[in-house]
Structures are given as structure tokens and as C-alpha cells.
Amino acid sequence: MKIMTRRTYRLNGHFFILVLLLGLFCSCSNRVYNVMAGQKLPKWTEGCLDIHSINTGRGECTFYILPDGTTMIVDAGEFHTGGTRHPMVEQKPDTLTRPYKVYAEYIKDILSRSFNRNNVILNGVKNLSIDYALLTHYHMDHMGRLEKDYERAPEKYIKTGMMALYDEIPYKKLIDRSYPDYSFDPKSKPLKHWSRFVKAKMEQDGLVVEKFELGSDSQFMLVNSPKKYPDFKVINYHINGLVWNNGEVLDCWEGKAVRENGASTGFLLSYGKFDWFAGGDAGDNGKVERPAARAIGRSIEAMKGHHHMSWHTMTEEMMDIFRPQVVVNQSFYAHQPWPETMKTVLTTGLPEGQTRDVFLTNLHDSTYVNEQETLAKVKAYRGHVVIRVLPGGGSFYVYMLDDTDLDFRVKGVYGPYICN
């Protein structure tokens, strides 16, 4: 029988502890990103940052779980298949399931398998809520269209998009680009319905409503454990055609009437070395996205495609400043993303020998018939896209999830991407 000396015992003890720690690390890491195609997305755990681009083919919606479990939704668009002049992609998962229902089921699925504020596993989805809801601008693909066959609330607003989603998962704080003044366009029916919704929920539920505050770095604060994550911050960079430039406010439309897309809100989210920029549809014609990029003035890790990567957006100047490793685009029409825009995104601002990974929630069959070489450079398309930043913000993964049903299973895993 082998006799273990004290020195051997200490070494073996240290080895045992090392193995145990490595095992725990690997176990935690596996829970965060190690998953195979066909499996469910590993649940969010504290310290991770999740950015979920939820695909319905009929509206834009992005759901965030911040490092301490604070939740945020940006936009929840909804519209019918008919009534537009542009060819559209297929509605997901089908034409019978309304988009707001998909958003609700997706969020409930994610949160019911994650942790609540006290790090206790949620028991069902009865008491779910969202800490922050941001409406970037008043277009149907971000807010919801006023369809005649949609239910009308007693307060005389149509339950569509963000106004319908509230009944499924209520918001604690709602932020838009104009509160409390919704009279700037008296002919706008969407604004009338939105103002009725806001008034009703403030009076009935005590909903807190604010206007997006240009230049603020405290409007979207962590609400659970902010002191644990001092390197997390959201800075508001543009609204209503104005750009925050380190204390100076730039009027990108030079006093002229701002088009609705150009009025979009935009922010930079930072966590450790990870930076994510989301500018609504403000990329339309580049008047806002170029000054915003100059104001930020540095490379970032990932960004949302502006204005669904349609014409005249994602400019070379912006891409040359931001140089993102990953771009995520949500789109609905045949011209989104536009081939020339896609080429700019794929090639501009890249160090020699490197590539940029582009993930598309949708792609119309007709768009790239004659652009197969460009299409081959797209990393993945057709599905929900999830960015998961690992604790500390030093690296991240991208997941593509199946959008053909409400089971939301993984189709592909990409990464790790190392933050610079």
C-alpha cells in the first residue's frame, strides 16, 4: 500500500482544489455558451449581458438582459402581411401568430428559465415585468400599425405592437422621443393612439414615462446590483435629429423639419471592453449616423443595422470609425438589406486579412439572386439572433435560433469574439 507523505498530500490537495475550480469554471462556462444545434439556449446567468433580436418578419424588437438581471426592450413593431408596396419576407413563425405574441412568448421563455432579482429561479411567468421599454420612433415596424381587426382598448387605443405587448408583460418605465408632448403632428393617428395608451397606463398602473434624455448616462441604470458592475453604462447619443458630442449638441437637420426615421433615439451600451451601438432608423440618409459615429469616435464590438440596412444607410464613414466585429440586422422587405449597403458593411473599415460577421434575421429570396458572392460572406441568416457577452465584458458569442416555431432552439453558435 502506498503511504502518502504530508508533502504529497498537500500537492494532491492543491491539485484536487485546482481540478474542482476548473470543473466549476467549465460548468459555469458551459451553462453560458456550450450548446449544440437543436438544444435550448443556455439560460442567462448573472454577469452575462444578453441582446436578443427577436424575429417575426413583421416588426423590429430587441430584448436585453443586463449583467445584474435588469431587463429592457427596445421597440416591438407589428403589421399585417398586406398593405405595403414592397415584397415582404415570410412572417414567422406563421401568419396566424401575431408578432406581439411572439415577442411575449420569446421573453417569457427566456426569463422563465433565468434568475429573478434575488437570484432565485422564477416560478412560472405570472409576475414577469420589464424594467425599461424604449420606443425609438413612431413607425409601425417599431411601434405597431393600427390594423382595423386588432382589439381596441376601452381607452380608445388599438392594441398593437408595444401597446399590445404591455398587457402580456408590463413595463415599469417607458421612454420615448417626445413625452409629454404628442401634439407636434396633430394629423398623426399613431400618435393619438400612443398618447391614449400612455395616459391610460400612467393612471391605471402607475407606469413611469420619460422622454429620452440626450447626453444622459443615467437614464438606463442597472436596478438590481449597480455597484457590482461599475463598468456598465448606457449613454444616450441622439434624438430628434440632435446628436450629443461631449457636451455640445449638434443639430444634424440644421433647423429643418426632421423626418421620423431621423428622429430616432440612439444609444451606446458599454460593458467592460464590449460596446454595442443601436440607433433605431436614424441611419436613413446618414445625416445622424455620421455625426453620432464621430461623437463616439472609436471602434466598437457590435451594432444593430440602421434602418434595416436599406438604401443610404450604414455609411462608409460610420463603418470606418466603428469597425464592428459583428453587425445584426432586422428586416422585413426585399430591399433589406440592400446589396450595395451590404457590401459596404462587409468591407469597410476592416484590417487587412480580417472579416466582419453579419447576422440577418431575414433575407428575401429575390434580393441576392445575382449577388451570390456577397451572400456567401454573410455569417448566418433567417432566425432570432442572440449576442451573449460573458461576465466582465471581455468576450462574447452569437447564437442563431430557429424562428419557425415557438420552441426557440439553437441553429448555430459563433465565436468566441474577443473584445478590444
pLDDT tens digits along 360-380: 999 999 989 889 999 999 999
pLDDT at 86: 85
Is the pLDDT at 16 greater than 70, yes or no? no
Q: Report the C-alpha gap between 283 and 264 in whole angstroms.
A: 9
Is the pLDDT at 103 greater than 80, yes or no? yes
pLDDT at 318: 96
Residue 261 pLDDT class (50, 70, 90 cuts): very high
Proportion of the chain above pLDDT 90, given as a percent: 81
pLDDT at 83: 61
Residue-level length of the chain: 420
352: which strand partners? Answer: none
Is the pLDDT at 71 greater than 50, yes or no? yes
Is the pLDDT at 117 greater than 50, yes or no? no
Range scoring the smallest mean pLDDT among 176-180, 276-280, 371-375? 371-375
Q: Report the C-alpha gap between 336 and 207 in whole angstroms.
A: 35
Choice between 30 and 270, residue whose per-residue pLDDT is larger: 270
Is the pLDDT at 127 greater than 80, yes or no? no
Q: What is the mean predicted confidence (pLDDT) over 210-228? A: 97
Proportion of the chain above pLDDT 70, given as a percent: 88
Q: What is the mean predicted confidence (pLDDT) over 180-199? A: 96
The torsion angles phi and psi of 321, rounded to 5 degrees, stand at -80, -50
Q: For domain 47-418, which architecture applies?
A: 4-Layer Sandwich (3.60)
Please give the helix or strand (H or E) that residue 173 lies within, else none. Answer: strand 171-176
Give the CA count within 13 Å in the CB-facing half-sphere of 353.
0
pLDDT at 116: 53
239: helix, coil or strand?
strand
Q: What is the mean predicted confidence (pLDDT) over 388-398? A: 98
Choice between 284 and 267, residue whose per-residue pLDDT is larger: 267
pLDDT tens digits along 308-347: 999 889 999 999 999 999 999 999 999 999 999 999 999 9
Per the listing, cell 448616462 goes with 217
pLDDT at 283: 78
pLDDT at 319: 97
pLDDT at 114: 81
Q: What is the pTM assigned to this prediction?
A: 0.91
Per DSSP, helices labelled H in 181-309 are: 189-205, 289-296
Closest-CA residue to 371 (of 351, 342, 413): 342
Closest-CA residue to 306 (of 357, 345, 274, 334): 345
Q: Report the C-alpha gap between 265 and 271 in whole angstroms.
A: 20
Is the pLDDT at 10 greater than 50, yes or no? no
pLDDT at 310: 93
pLDDT tens digits along 143-161: 999 999 999 999 999 999 9
Residue 20 pLDDT class (50, 70, 90 cuts): very low
Give the domain ranges of the chain. Answer: 47-418
Q: Report the C-alpha gap between 393 and 389 in whole angstroms.
A: 6
pLDDT at 255: 86
